[in-house]
Structure 1
Amino acid sequence: MTSKELTILKFLSTQDSWVTSFSMSAFLDISVRTIKSYISNINSEFPNLIESSRNGYIVRDKKQLSNVISSAKKILYSPQTVIDRKKFILQKLLLETDRYDFDNLANELFISPVTLTNELQKLKKELADYELTIKTKDNLVFIDGQETTKKKLISKLIYEDSKDSFLSINLMQSYLPHFDLTIVKQIVSDKLSEHHYFMDDFSLLNLVLQIAITMERKLIRKTGKEVTGTDSWKSLVNAHIQEIVMDITEHIEKQFGMEFVDGEIYDFALLIMTRAISNSINDINMDQLSEFVGEDIIRLVSLIQTRTKETYNITIIRQDFTVRFALHIKNLLIRLKHNIVLRNPQVLDIKNSYPFIYDVSVFIANIITQEEGYVLTEDEISYIALHLGVLIEERKAIKHDVRAILVNPQYLNKSVDIANRLSSIFEDNLLITEIVSTQHELEAYSDYDLIITTIPFEVYPGKPYVQISAYLTNKDILSVSKKIEEVLKDRIKAKVKSKLEVMFKEELFFVDESFKDQNDAINVMADVLEKQGIVDSSFKEKLFERERVSSSAYMNIAMPHPLEMCARNSAIAVSIHPNAIMWNNNKVNIIFMLAINIRDSLFLKDIFDFITEVISEEKKLKTILDVKTYDDFIAALVSFAK
């Protein structure tokens, strides 16, 4: 099995539903033809492991898949590429020993001493970012630098290996084999619980990882004397967190027969302080919040709420959200101040699956940068997106009520009961405005979106409808839910369709333009928008400013736009590239450059939702990539909006 085939298997291991070859191609940067060839090879070796259909590919037997991946990893362990050799060298010098014989290292890599010298030279440039250097003395190779930065590099190695899935205890254990990490995790969880605190899964694993890395490094160095922080750490951490971290470290020390030094305990305390949440969080009210986070955080959160409302017309003010978000911002600033890296294995999934929510989070991240001076990573931005996601989806549902009429013969004497049950189940997005007995009575009404009926219709009623039983079974509830979703999607499509010829213009349309990269594309397309009088001369720099905060590429499209809606008039420039161009680390086939006037702020989310739906369907995406003219492009979009 090749490394690319293993990559496909690892990707499929994270998917619980069908995934198309086109989507896999965009995500894994492998051509569709090559993916199909690899899957054929895999199924030849492991018959029927990967199922295929018109919907794409799926692996249902996760246990068999896990065994195949484990076996393949062992076979492919011998480093074959420059990247593999780099990882091998770093693991050898950071997780196995502090110093290693140069000639033995070359032999284990199956390369000549000259080639190894060249590899170490390349590695030296990368290590410089961590203020580390790789040296050779007396024929021994070693990495020189601060212990704290070595630990950060180890953490990066492990997270990079988990980027196609989720960080797990098993993955951590494969890198850090000398201590049972399930025991470490259990100790941490139990002690947090005893002190009435909890951590989300990502934060908990991150803390366990940092503890485990420290333990492995102490084993390699054969000494715990190096201080990695401050002796007076207790003066910097509140008493309750002190109790928690001391309880955790004392139990781990007793379990594994080792001793943590003050600096190491302080590092763990910072992680707990910035990610652990008190079980009493739900008891905090707005009047008490400033006591927990301080007036500066209250002011910053208020500014974020105000500017988000002004720019996106989104309300993110609700007591439970504000409390949790303020605590998150406080911990975020502590992490940034102490240069604590918090990884989020879901960052790509969040960005690609919820581009609008992620975009709002980029906007918020920029506010934090302007106010506090810290630059947020995409991992931190995605954590903000997780906080926003539920609230924005709730607000969206409330804002887009589906108005329905219930048709149910009165002789069944259950109409009010059915209506009440439906209203209770779908309280956030269904409003039953009328109850009638027959289809004929519908003629008296026009202001509704959906018909829910317990009787069959002889003719199509002219509006979307769904038939249910009078007993409202689980199957009925699912049918109503699907029909509500269809109505909401059709509503978005109708809005988009009404704007198509206003927002898209022939003079802003490009096909297979020979852009070298994203900078070239931004320069050319922004110049055309300015020439048309749609934006002013500052628009281009604002695009680059947004890209510096976080790339606007989502899967195989890019949607560059400023952080704020500053266009004189709203328009969308489009560039189609059947042969993808590079956009930072992504390959992009379509560019939608959004120039949006504040008057159209409500339309921005509809644009994101519509574009995301189009690119997620392989057939629609291929249709767009095949267009040659502006008229063909508009015709394709109109067909999608029907």
Structure 2
Amino acid sequence: MKKKEILLDYLKNQKKEQFVSSSDLAKILGVTNRSIRYYVKQLNDDVPDLVESSREGYRYNWQYFEVPKVDESVDGRRFSILRYLLQKGDDGVDLFDLAEELLVSESTIRQDMSALQELMQDYQLMIKQHEFRYYLTGTQEAKRLLIMTLIRKKNGDAPSLEGEMQQFLGEIPLSVLTEICQQVFDEFNFHVNQYFFQNFILHLIIVLNQKWQDESKVFSSPSLPMIEKIAESIFDHYHLELAQEDKFELALLCDGERGHREVEVSNYVSKNVSASLHRALEELSSVFLIDFTDQQFLNRLLLHTQNLYNRVKNKKVKRNLSALEIKMRYPALFDVAVYLSSLIATDLKIEIAEDEIAFLALHIGSFLDEQKKNAEKIHTLLVGSDYLERENQIQVLLESRFGDELLFVSADEIKNTDSVEFIISSEKKFFDYDAEVVFIQEFLRERDFVRIRKGIERTKQKRYLHFLEEFLPKLIQKEACIALEKVESKEEVFSFIGQWFFEKGFTDHHYTQRLFEREKMASTAFTSGVALPHTIRYEGKKTGFLVLKPVQPLYWDEQSIKLILAMAINPADSHDFNRIFPRIIEILVEEYHVNFLRRSQTSDEFIKRLIELMVADGYYD
């Protein structure tokens, strides 16, 4: 990489408003101030105004030249191509059929395939071509990770889901609407988690954006008085009336959250709508590799789909929603909703407007966001009284205290004993689970909450230990712990590291050069006797560590280095890597920890010692 390119990369990595002085840049690149001015001139000759100048120095011109990376700019068409690749599997997709289906030229499809191929590398996937057919190859796990990442992407500075909700409400403040609902919920002792509350507000917004003329059949619901109270408050504030049909839809949602056995979703939703949605979700799951079997999500979507069907049949669709904004900001998510809508529309022989598709996109997006949050929560089994109502009361109380950390599952939802991490029980008995168990009183006291808090901490520690035991052996291979002989300089070390990573398939042949580029910015050596050489960006083909132990102390920027831990990081592993890197730094600034690790004779022993240090003192991420 040329010096001017190194300069440009360095400026891109600074804060947007920050200028860097010419003298600082000269020190970083090891050149004169005059050379810096020359490089800037060259860059601006290539692209006018690419680098801004001032008395304070230089900075990258973000206002005009910030271009999103490929994985941040996958538009609806490219996501559709991915969908076809996933759907066709081993049969592949035909270039000419794809161009005809998407109404673009063959050359456009080839360009899209090239851009997508670059993206695939970050997920250990590959698009292969044979004559005029394309095939997506790789593991199911990698494909699912790719799809979920793209679905959750937003284009540009898109507002949150709450921002989209506010656009639908117009002049009605979302904050006032949520306050009304929260006050009524509290009055009726109806305590819910944030996901349900968000979905309730979403359904309420939907019914406020529609007008009903015809009343459908009436159902009984224990939550109806609470919904009547909310309807009264909305009328008092904004003179908007909720139709009885809408009130029952909202009441059924709340019944499901309360755990009432008399929930009448199956009675409310017609058989043809229910069957159509289940068929559509089954196909959607097979194409996008997303699990839509969550019962509460299914109930909510069934209610929504039934009301969508009613609106279409009664021609009560209201066309003033920001479907275009959602389509532009969440192209992949919108494409999923379009696909679901097309399946339902074909099955039920109806037409679904873009406004309705936008609502479906918000439903799916909210569910996927909660699915991601739930994956991070501790799956908890509550065992208590034989009285369902009492057990529900205990769960509501615990969710109000620990809802951000615990996800309560029922015995019916447990697929295997490994899926339960934490058990809270008011019955003293043996549990055949490899889970943390805390015993509490049926009528909770403060000391019970203390026991639960300690149990949560122990469970998080156990979870982090399990993660380390799985992740670190993948990072540090058997042959990746090497005694380094006949190497006397940092330059020789970098050459050795770059060659080793390249030969093992972790990086390309430019890796050594990138190590030098990073090192010029600041030394990766520590006074504790360890060095952690790595590149500026995560750009490895695979993720891996290389452990080097100099036989003789190696002098590196005036530090005597006894242990070297080199890293190649694939962007797809950045989340997992970021779970360990700060802790590794925290450990290795202490010299006795460096010495402890250096005494390892094999990679297995190194991993064992590293894990021991990382979980010391009950640490977890």
Q: Taking structure 2 as the reference length, what is the TM-score of the superposition?
A: 0.35
Q: Taking structure 1 as the reference length, what is the TM-score of the superposition?
A: 0.34
